[in-house]
Amino acid sequence: MLRVGLLGFLHESNTFAPVPTTYEHFAATSLTRGEELRERWLGKHHELSGLLAGCEESGLTVVPGMATYTVPGGAITAESFERLAAELIGSIALPLDGLLVALHGATASETYPDADGEILRRIRAVTGPDLPIICTLDLHANFSQAMAELATATIAYRTNPHLDQFARGREAAWLMARTLRGEVQPVQALETPPLLIQISRQHTNVEPARGLYADLETVLTWPGILSASVTMGFYYADVPEMGMGFLAVADGDEALARRAARWMSERAWARRAEFVGNLPTPAEAIAYAKETTRLPLVLMDVGDNVGAGSPADSTILLAEVLRQGARDALVVLYDPESVAQCVAAGVRHTVSLRVGGKTDALHGAPVAITGTVRTLSDGLFVEHQIRHGGWGHGDQGVTAVVETAEGHSIVLTSLRMPPMSLEQVLSLGLRPERKRILMAKGVVAPRAAYEPVAGEILLVDTPGVTSDNPAVFNYRRRRKPLFPLES
Ligand SMILES: [Zn+2]
């Protein structure tokens, strides 16, 4: 029997977010080992689920080590990274024939800007240079040459919203099985042109992003190519390897892998002007929301994109809704203080609160609201459908719904929760399809959840640590030049 280890370490680290990520964040969200790992991920839509399924189908014996993830946030503290890395490496049960590792690719710690590369370096230190290691990555990886050199092969998601996580995990497991049986000999080549693509242009169902993945599909038809990946990078991380990556995995032919990666990279570079865009301002968006008949209108709060590490309590759009007198909005805000006030008041009681805008000074000030506590909830929900993230269930902490006289439903959560699942609000008894305005703190990822109910989706140029415009960030470590910051 072929024994294959399985590890997972996933975090999207926003180095501009003021609240650092710690060991406790991982432990509270999901940290499993051994059989517990299998139980947590079997049957879900995550790549860890795909890796487990692919091993089962291809006859590999999985030896689960540790897998952990948490909601995107600030860089991981130095101490927490050391503890997580030590536990992760310590969970590798040698001897093994191969090792499968689910990484994000845009993980940064206070000490290691390329934390994924550092993890792979430490893994190699215990496995030696020859053990086949196959990684999966998020499409938003800042793919480093170190990562490409340390892994035998790498497979990233090909969709945004990320709906193919399971499929990519499965693909990685099958590639491992074929490798271990001597059927193929994967070698990979990575091209990292000085290019980034604005997040508002990253929806893979439409141009310009669709073309990148059409090119990838073309490369997959080339004889001798085993896999290919296009990573869009994560420009909310100020790290030297920030930007796009184009990777090809070929069967024993490094020159072929290089040719394929370069072909995709050069075609993207030639179209670089298409990856730059502009969005409406909050004032323009709310004015439109008051007039439109394509309801509900989903407003994407691009500057407070929780799935990219922002605080989840931006009040910029809510303040504009109140200023312009728009009605019937559904807003979710992270605000444990206000939740506590609602709990103290109890359901059916009137509360006057100052909601949101409490994490930092970058996402608006607290907004005064008065309303009735409609619902108090444990904040737990289950998502059975294929949704970005593939987590399967969510915990937004104790949660309160406050209804105002203007028809607004203000959802206040005790934990930061990206809007990847409509169950986040359905589980509270809310009816999003009957609202005029739904605010989702994200850009592309929430589409999978919101498209089924949306009359229209509008991206809004709100300020914040996940601004659409890379020019607003004060970078110190990124490489230069990098289009479109330098042309
Ligand atoms: Zn992503």
SS3 of 198-263: the string is: CHHHCCCCCCCHHHHHHHHHHHHCCCCEEEEEEECCCCCCCCCCCCCEEEEEEECCHHHHHHHHHH
Q: Which helix (H) or strand (E) holds 87?
A: helix 78-90
- 14: CA distance to ligand 1 center in Å? 12
State in Å: Cα 61 to ligand 1 middle. 29
Task: Compute, in angstroms, the gap from residue 5 CA to the centroid of ligand 1.
Answer: 24
* Domain final residue, candidates 218, 242, 275: 275
**In a domain? residue 223:** yes
What are residue 448's DSSP bridge partners? none
- Tell me how far the alpha carbon of residue 433 lies from the centroid of ligand 1, in angstroms: 27
Q: Does any domain span residue 473?
A: no
Establish if 475 belongs to a structural domain. no
Ligand 1: centre distance to CA 254 (Å): 28
DSSP 123-148: HHHHH-SSS-EEEEE-TT----HHHH
Residue 311 lies inside a defined structural domain of this protein: yes
Query: What is the spatial distance between Cα 317 and Cα 158, in angstroms, rounded to a whole number?
Result: 31
If asked whether residues 317 and 442 sit together in one domain, one would say: yes
Is there a domain that residue 484 lies in? no
Question: 350 CA to middle of ligand 1, Å?
Answer: 40
Helices (H), ranges, 366-487: 423-426, 447-450
C-alpha 161 – ligand 1 centre gap (Å): 8
In angstroms, what is the span from residue 95 Cα to ligand 1's centroid?
33
Q: Indicate whether 316 and 262 sit together in one domain.
A: no
Say if residues 143 and 245 touch (Cβ distance below 8 Å).
yes
Residue 479 lies in a domain: no
Residues of the chain with pLDDT under 50: none
> Same structural domain for residues 254 and 310?
no
**282: CA distance to ligand 1 center in Å?**
25
| 179 and 258, same domain (yes or no) | yes
Q: Are 12 and 105 in contact (CB under 8 A)?
A: no
**Ligand 1 center–CA 158 separation, angstroms:** 10
Ligand 1: centre distance to CA 105 (Å) = 9
Q: If you measure from the C-alpha of residue 389 to the centroid of ligand 1, how many angstroms do you get, rounded to a whole number? A: 8
Q: Are residues 261 and 315 in the same domain?
A: no
Centroid of ligand 1 to alpha carbon of 136 (angstroms):
12
304: its two tokens: 């407070």
Ligand 1 centroid to Cα of residue 317, in Å, is: 24
Distance (angstroms) between ligand 1 centre and the Cα of 139 equals 5
Given a contact cutoff of 8 angstroms between Cβ atoms, the answer to whether 77 and 22 are in contact is yes
351 alpha carbon to ligand 1 midpoint, in Å?
38
Residue 231 Cα to ligand 1 midpoint, Å, equals 9
Give distance in angstroms: CA of 445 to centre of ligand 1.
8
CA of 222 to the centre of ligand 1 (A): 27
Query: What pLDDT, on a 0 to 100 scale, did the predictor assign at position 109?
Result: 98
pLDDT for the residue 415? 97
Quote the pLDDT of residue 487: 83
Number of domains in the chain: 2
Alpha helices in 136-181 (DSSP H): 145-150, 165-180
CA of 181 to the centre of ligand 1 (A): 32
- Domain range spanning residue 24? 3-275
Does residue 268 form part of some domain? yes
* Domain boundary, last residue among 250, 275, 300: 275
Distance 140 CA to ligand 1 centre (A): 4
> Are residue 247 and residue 312 in the same domain, yes or no?
no
For ligand 1, the distance from its centroid to the CA atom of residue 244, given in whole angstroms, is 13
CA dist 450 and 206 (Å) reads 17
- Residue 335, strand partner residues: none
pLDDT at 94: 97
H helices of 271-361, in order, are: 282-291, 316-324, 336-345
∠ Cα 340 345 351 (to 5°): 90
Ligand 1 centre to CA of 162 (Å) is: 7
Q: Is residue 483 domain-resident?
A: no
Same domain? 249 vs 294? no
Q: Are 237 and 316 in the same domain?
A: no
57's CB contacts (< 8 A; 6+ apart) are 170, 173, 174
DSSP H or E segment with residue 27: helix 23-29
Q: State in Å: Cα 304 to ligand 1 middle.
A: 15
Ligand 1 center to 211 CA (angstroms): 18
**Closest among 46, 460, 13, 444 to 234, alpha carbons compared:** 13
Whole-number Cα distances in Å, 17 to 75, 238, 364, 465: 8, 11, 15, 6
* Same domain as 254, residue 300: no
- Count Cα neighbours of 393 within 13 Å in the Cβ-side half-sphere: 12
DSSP H/E element including 80? helix 78-90
Cα 426 from Cα 452, distance rounded (Å): 13
Shared domain for 105 and 130, answered yes or no, is yes
Half-sphere exposure of 233 (CA within 13 A, CB side): 28
Phi and psi of 125, rounded to 5°? Answer: -65, -30
Is residue 109 domain-shared with residue 237, that is, in the same domain? Answer: yes
Q: How far is the CA of 393 from the centre of ligand 1 (A)?
A: 18
* Token pair belonging to 307: 């799935």
146 alpha carbon – ligand 1 mean position (Å): 20
Domain end (from 228, 256, 275): 275
**Which helix or strand (DSSP H or E) is residue 331 part of?**
strand 329-334
Ligand 1 center to residue 138 CA distance, Å?
Answer: 5
**352 and 211 co-located in one domain:** no
